Structure 1
Amino acid sequence: MNQNYTLENVRLEIGFEFKEGEVIATKTDIFSIEMSGGKIKAIHKNKGNINAIDAKGMLMLPSFKDMHIHLDKTLYGGGEWHAVKKRRDGVKGMISLEKKIIPELLRNSTYKAEQIIELLQSYGTSFARSHVNIEPTSKLKSLENLQIALKNKENGFESELVAFPQHGLFYTDSIAYMKEVAKSDIDFIGGLDPYSIDGSIERSMDFTLQLALENQKGIDIHLHETGDSGLKTVEYLIEKVNENPELKGKTYLSHCFVLGRLDNQKQKEMAIKLKDAQIGIISTIPFGGLIMPIPTLMKYGVKVMTGNDSIMDHWNTFGTGSVLYKANLAAQLYGKVTEFELSRMLSLATAGVVPLDDEGVQQWPKVGDDATFLLFDASCSAEVVSRMSNVKSLIFKGNVVF
């Protein structure tokens, strides 16, 4: 579609309705949205433009973002079902398995990445942060194949890429490949369980931090460790980011399961330290019997995001492709049932963007924003989260994806 057009009869959230200090409803009104060159050009009350496209009163919300996924290695898209095999020797056992199966996965990884992207789009996701294997088995081939898929889908999808040493930095000697890829146009330097995989928190973390600093990249580290080593890794990262403030706002811990093992007071203490260092947490919701302290992190201002991680691969098969499902699951898990609380849970699906701020002041959409959004047959974002409303349309920079 031509990117210069107008949508009429679009429902936007404009404020909260309060009663005795409590949000009891979300106020909306009907608008026209003019788009030009992939941007929102104007927002105004309906003008009866006969050339406009009728949105039929559907609710406009920010498009979704999957902030932790592995688009480069998947079993999804081949028309076959594969359950996960019984794990042996933890993450190191999975590394051994990957060494055997990656050559076969690489044969059609571009096609399968495109299939996952289409699945994500069908659930309203137009952006993903994807971790990409960088290790001696696939070298840079996994990245190259994924970049082809992303290029093929660029009219309806965009991404950030994390160079991920899935097989350990030193455990399988991935250093040379990480140094090479850091000079490319990837966005983040990744890492994996520095103590349990590489045998040293300091050695592994120092390399990661220095590589990010030298190449002006962000950091996004997988941290599965839940004992003392997990906590020490978080504390070491906080210390180093505070010493290098250019990394603030660009550093993330994925999973970070150790936070779910701490007592309430220690969780609060760590949340404050993470907020001060501007280190974000990209959390799985939930994970076995582990309950991550997402409400505590959000309360103290830590940026919290989520993602599908795996859709169907040799790690797990529970990814649905929907981050709205993750927001709904979090609302149920943490008892977020009121209009206000449900509206806040939307931020987990959008990586932080919600139409109304905590006081009910409209902050999205604005003129000049990318014309990237979703349309729902729903009354408000709280209903969308609670009922997991179906996405009726995804618009990406003015392009109608569906």
Structure 2
Amino acid sequence: MMNRKDFLKNAALGVAGATLVPGALQAQPNPVKAYTLKNVRLETGFVFEEGEAVATKTELFTVEIADGKIRRIGPNQPSSSAIDAKGKLMLPAFKDMHIHLDKTFYGGPWQAVKRRTGGVKGMIALEQQILPEMLKTSTYRAEKLIELLQSKGSSFARSHVNIEPTSKLDSLKNLEKALENKKNGFGAELVAFPQHGVFYTDSVPYLKEAAKTDIDFIGGLDPHSIDGAIEKTIDFTVQLALDHNKGIDIHLHESGDSGLKTVEYLIKKVNENPALKGKTYVSHCFVLGRIEKARQEEIAEQLGAAKVGIVSTIPFGGLIMPIPTLWKHGVEVLTGNDSIIDHWNTFGSGSVLQKASLAAQLYGYATESGLSRMLKLATGGILPLDEKGVQQWPKAGDAADLVLVDASCSAEAVSRIAPVTSLIHNGNIVF
């Protein structure tokens, strides 16, 4: 049987989720290996005044797509019989890099979050009660959640999936069914997530079993407050990742001394094991928003040197993450919706473009250049123009993972959370 990575890589060009939203393009009723788009708006540079980018230049182009790749970008041919993009702005498809597709109320009756007690351990107890029932519909609801992400322009996600004694590997198996059903319009990488603790509920045997599958990352959860042992938990996670050539993505909510010690110890282990550089992430990492500025700079520099990334859901209110400081030191910063309509959270919209817009507001990126830079939070780091306004995307040979949005440029798209009118994944017109 073809494994998940293979079928996502080799998926035939077809149609998935064609009825999501009306858009500039028509979903193809049959597999299409090659086609051409006309009237595609692409960014070509910045207009500078006194050294400041004050506007973005765009032109209309013809874009040829074949076998899941952009084959050619050429002068616009408006009179041709090509598929009409109607002047919409083409951007890289969006990526939700922190979400839990495997457990959601989305696709079922409305449920708001209930009053919770006991912190994360209290939520673990709640999950142990409700997961058996949730598993009965988790494949269907994951598919509906994928459709929501697609409608907001995302064709890829990094999904954490519960691996613990209650679900065992059933949550993983159910999610893989959903991903196979949606493979023509959506891709994913998976994190084996010990939501109930590595040792707190003895998830070790299930994590070891999951590591033998084609999941991509080994996860973790608050090693001190849940497992009571930072070094023991991190050592286990690191060794499991090394043994099976996986990455690491650890949930870290702890914002006190234990949170900082966890970050520092993880950096130490990554430096000791260079194979993990560029493959290790800390999700949330709220402690970075709690320490003083000088310490933020120091830790950001260490994270950048070790190539340890941060995945932030862009919290606001009393906790503002130092994302500009992380970028300053070369730290990869990704974002995602985390929970969408489940027992943890009620407010997820499914839009990572909204996350980029929120970040622009929080950090004061209100200029043409600043807004355009924030787009990388939605695209997983890809930007059409570099800081000098030189076009760097799209190029012939790039993956045909694209969105068309109703905006004149990236800056407007971020500022106004531009409506997504079309999505193309692996060359496949989703809608």
Identify the TM-score tier after normalising by the shorter chain.
Answer: over 0.9
SS state at 1:325 partner: helix
1:42 maps to 72
1:227 maps to 256
Alignment of 1:74-223 (within 5 A): 74-78=104-108, 80-223=109-252
Measure how far apart 1:61 and its partner are: 0.3
Measure how far apart 1:168 and its partner are: 0.4
AA at the equivalent of 1:4: A
SS state at 2:139 partner: helix
The more displaced of 48-57 and 15-24 is: 48-57
Q: Does the Cα contact within 8 Å between 2:106 and 2:145 map onto a contact in 1?
A: yes
SS state at 1:107 partner: coil
Q: Does the Cα contact within 8 Å between 2:39 and 2:77 map onto a contact in 1?
A: no
Q: Does 1:68 align with 2:77?
A: no
1:20 maps to 50
Looking at structure 2, the residues matched to 314 and 57 of structure 1 have their Cα atoms a distance apart, in angstroms, of 41
Q: Does 1:311 align with 2:340?
A: yes
Q: Does the Cα contact within 8 Å between 2:39 and 2:78 map onto a contact in 1?
A: no
Measure how far apart 1:399 and its partner are: 1.3
Measure how far apart 1:47 and its partner are: 3.8
Looking at structure 2, the residues matched to 151 and 157 of structure 1 have their Cα atoms a distance apart, in angstroms, of 9
RMSD: 0.9
Looking at structure 2, the residues matched to 237 and 390 of structure 1 have their Cα atoms a distance apart, in angstroms, of 39
Give the alignment partner of residue 59 of structure 1, picking from 79, 85, 89. Answer: 89
Measure how far apart 1:49 and its partner are: 6.0
Looking at structure 1, the residues matched to 250 and 226 of structure 2 have their Cα atoms a distance apart, in angstroms, of 13
Alignment of 1:259-270 (within 5 A): 259-270=288-299
The more displaced of 156-165 and 14-23 is: 14-23
Runs of 4+ aligned structure 1 residues displaced above 6 Å come to none
2:11 maps to none
AA at the equivalent of 1:151: E
2:425 maps to 396
SS state at 1:342 partner: helix
Give the alignment partner of residue 352 of structure 2, picking from 323, 339, 345. Answer: 323
AA at the equivalent of 1:39: K
Measure how far apart 1:3 and its partner are: 2.8
AA at the equivalent of 1:133: N
Alignment of 1:233-312 (within 5 A): 233-312=262-341
SS state at 2:260 partner: helix
AA at the equivalent of 2:219: G
Looking at structure 2, the residues matched to 335 and 370 of structure 1 have their Cα atoms a distance apart, in angstroms, of 32
Measure how far apart 1:48 and its partner are: 5.1
AA at the equivalent of 1:194: P
1:29 maps to 59
Looking at structure 2, the residues matched to 242 and 358 of structure 1 have their Cα atoms a distance apart, in angstroms, of 31
AA at the equivalent of 2:258: S
SS state at 2:188 partner: strand
Measure how far apart 1:378 and its partner are: 1.3
Identity between Structure 1 and Structure 2 (%):
70
Cα deviation 1:234-279 (Å, max 9, x = unaligned):
0001111011111000000000000000111111111111000001
Q: Which runs of 5+ in 2 are unaligned?
A: 1-27
Cα deviation 1:177-206 (Å, max 9, x = unaligned):
000110100000000000110011000000
The more displaced of 221-230 and 280-289 is: 280-289
Looking at structure 1, the residues matched to 125 and 273 of structure 2 have their Cα atoms a distance apart, in angstroms, of 35
Looking at structure 2, the residues matched to 356 and 373 of structure 1 have their Cα atoms a distance apart, in angstroms, of 16
TM-score, normalised relative to structure 1: 0.98
The more displaced of 22-31 and 124-133 is: 22-31
AA at the equivalent of 1:366: K
Q: Does the Cα contact within 8 Å between 2:179 and 2:187 map onto a contact in 1?
A: yes
Looking at structure 2, the residues matched to 319 and 210 of structure 1 have their Cα atoms a distance apart, in angstroms, of 34
AA at the equivalent of 1:29: E
Q: Does 1:4 align with 2:34?
A: yes
Q: Does the Cα contact within 8 Å between 2:252 and 2:283 map onto a contact in 1?
A: yes
Measure how far apart 1:358 and its partner are: 1.5
Cα deviation 1:211-239 (Å, max 9, x = unaligned):
00000000000000001000000000111
Structure 1 132/287 Cα, relative in aligned 2: closer, same or farther at 3 Å? farther
Q: Which runs of 5+ in 1 are unaligned?
A: none
Looking at structure 2, the residues matched to 387 and 47 of structure 1 have their Cα atoms a distance apart, in angstroms, of 30
Looking at structure 2, the residues matched to 287 and 193 of structure 1 have their Cα atoms a distance apart, in angstroms, of 21
Measure how far apart 1:322 and its partner are: 0.5
Measure how far apart 1:137 and its partner are: 0.3
Cα deviation 1:315-340 (Å, max 9, x = unaligned):
11110011111111111111110000
Q: Aligned pair count?
A: 401
TM-score, normalised relative to structure 2: 0.92
AA at the equivalent of 1:378: A
1:351 maps to 380
Structure 1 242/205 Cα, relative in aligned 2: closer, same or farther at 3 Å? same
SS state at 1:199 partner: coil
